[in-house]
Structure 1
Amino acid sequence: MTGKLHIAVLMGGWSAEREVSLMSGTGVADALESLGHKVSRVDMDRTVAATLAALKPDVVFNALHGSPGEDGTVQGMLEILGIKYTHSGVTASAIAIDKELTKAILCPHGIPMPDGMIVESESLYAADPMPRPYVLKPVNEGSSVGVAIVTEDGNYGSPIGRDVTGPWQEFDRLLAEPFIKGRELTTAVVGEEAFGVTELMPTRGFYDYDAKYTEGLTQHVYPAEIPADIAARCEAIAIDAHTLLGCKGATRSDFRWDEERGEDGLFLLEVNTQPGMTPLSLVPEQAKHRGMDYPALVQRIVEEAL
């Protein structure tokens, strides 16, 4: 057990995931205080470097989600300040948030990921980049921000209309991937230990940002009611991805599984290096099922940072 520390919990910021980060950060700060640590709660703004330099914490618990807290930017600042911090470092963070770069690193090592291509959003107004159904997602966002599933009978039209609401209005470039039918699975890794597999069953639509963070919109089934070999494969892929990317602390690997294709139907979608720590979040939930309560999980992540 690490002794009592001064821990700055970095949360908030200005990304699309600000509100979720504030929930994560508040939960982490409360847990650390319950363990007797001195906690400084820092809602990140443009003066954050000066704030942290003045606070001189023993360690920063990074509870930010999205850019710049998840893309290596904040990690680089903390490296310059010489302050230890939780979760992944500069390189792993920069790679993992970029879905194209993640594929470039993981696929040559045999990690199964969907085929995909980068498209200019403008091109979508002329023609579909691939046969429907397909998925469009921002290259550098997490938490299913800006994800659109384009189907034959969808409401986007064919081609997609310039005046139709979607990620093409917000982002100049998008990643297009074939839609993988089937089941949504996720596995947390803390350190080098996988925490099992949860199946996510949205009560409507798909597992988008609202479904992740609105109580009652998604049923979490743990352990997932899937064959043992598929569960083992999820855990193995999650650990391999965590290791190959050079991640630290907690990560969460998200999968789609087409059960009609067996093991060949399992695909890693992404690795999240700053997974949520809210009451609805999957990493704390999986840890709890394995006998590790929320404060113990937070403590373990801090200890790894040290």
Structure 2
Amino acid sequence: MSYKQKLVGMLMGGHNSEHEVSMRTGAALAAALRRRGYRVEEIVVDENVAGKLVESGVEVAFVALHGRWGEDGCVQGLLECMRIPYTGSGVLASALSMDKVFSKKLFRQAGLPVAPDVVVSGDAGRDLEPSKLPFDLPVVVKPSREGSSVGVSIVRKAADLAAALEQAAGLAGDVLVEQYVPGREISVAVLDGRALGAIEIKPAREFYDYTAKYHSQGTTDYLFPAPLEEGERERAHELAQEAYRCLGCSGVARVDLILGTDGRFVVLEVNTIPGMTEASLVPKIAAGVGIGFDELAERILEGAALKA
């Protein structure tokens, strides 16, 4: 069944640190779908989103939200209750992917390679000494439930650990402290369970943080296809597909990896609603394999469904 004759609700915005990114994603996708002949209603998500969905008469939802209360299963649960088909992963897969602590536990249980880590809860981080960590500095400090690298920092000096933990804890209660894995940043786009391709990110900054992603103004290099040996490329695709399946994802996702200096991959995370402007990673990969931005948007929409 095609959604060509249905009213599409583009859910965008939201109440979190990724509001700006979501607005860009939603606007780009809405324009693409209109060029393909769809009727699209842009809905800026707030506490009255249920009322807006009812008033607009939306028949299918394209979820273009990033971060908490949008990418974490909350809106997906609302759409299930309202029986409105929607794009992307379902409630559980969205919640698991958003929570770095739980997703890493599942990756580890599935035998996927991940970086050693410890989880610090709430105020406990104030008393954490680097000497008490089971691995040496540098470490990567991450809020457990944020996206777009918001609140992520690399700590190389013992004196900087407390501030990094406090910053991350202020965004999400639990904080993930990972052993830093030096290497190359690789992202793989997965659509309907199949890896489309891998891209290498070479930011001018220390790592691919929020500023590098959205305010780099050409200072980040993107290499597609990623310059990998054939065996490395196959392994990257395999790991991305396994991580996608492990969390029960649907539709489009981006899987972030590190190819360590020792030649081994580490799975970082799965992003179930990756940035989708024409300058974003997934559209870059899709374009590289012959799928234009408008076609990509349509393919994602046509995969919309109820998952529960």
Aligned residue identity for 1:300: R
CA contact (8 A) 1:20 1:278 kept: no
State the Cα distance separating 1:117 from its structure 2 match.
1.4
Output one character per residue of 1:29-69: Cα deviation in whole Å (capped at 9) or x when no partner.
00111111111000001110011122222210000000101
CA contact (8 A) 1:68 1:74 kept: yes
Aligned residue identity for 2:155: V
State the Cα distance separating 1:140 from its structure 2 match.
0.7
Structure 2, gaps ≥5 residues long: none
CA contact (8 A) 1:213 1:280 kept: no
Pairwise mapping of residues 5-154 of structure 1 onto structure 2 (< 5 A)? 5-120=6-121, 122-126=123-127, 127-128=129-130, 129-130=132-133, 131-152=136-157
Aligned residue identity for 1:101: F
State the Cα distance separating 1:6 from its structure 2 match.
1.1
Match of 2:177 in 1: 176
Aligned residue identity for 1:250: V
SS at match of 1:236: helix
Output one character per residue of 1:239-296: Cα deviation in whole Å (capped at 9) or x when no partner.
111122111111000011113x22xx21000000110102321111100111111110
Aligned residue identity for 2:139: Y
- TM-score of the superposed pair, with normalisation by structure 2: 0.92
Match of 1:237 in 2: 239
Output one character per residue of 1:80-104: Cα deviation in whole Å (capped at 9) or x when no partner.
0000000000010011111111122
SS at match of 2:303: helix
CA contact (8 A) 1:124 1:159 kept: no
Aligned-pair identity in percent equals 38
- TM-score of the superposed pair, with normalisation by structure 1: 0.93
CA contact (8 A) 1:288 1:294 kept: yes
How far apart, in 1, do the equivalents of 2:170 and 2:8 lie? Answer: 40
Match of 1:269 in 2: 268
CA contact (8 A) 2:145 2:172 kept: no
Aligned residue identity for 2:219: L
SS at match of 1:107: helix
**How many residues matched?**
299
State the Cα distance separating 1:15 from its structure 2 match.
1.1
CA contact (8 A) 1:212 1:280 kept: no
Match of 1:287 in 2: 286
How far apart, in 2, do the equivalents of 1:137 and 1:80 lie? Answer: 32
Aligned residue identity for 2:246: L
Aligned residue identity for 1:77: L
2:192 equivalent to 1:191: yes
Match of 1:301 in 2: 300
How far apart, in 2, do the equivalents of 1:159 and 1:125 lie? Answer: 9
How far apart, in 1, do the equivalents of 2:268 and 2:98 lie? Answer: 12
CA contact (8 A) 2:118 2:177 kept: yes
2:248 corresponds, among 246, 249, 267, to: 246
How far apart, in 2, do the equivalents of 1:161 and 1:87 lie? Answer: 36
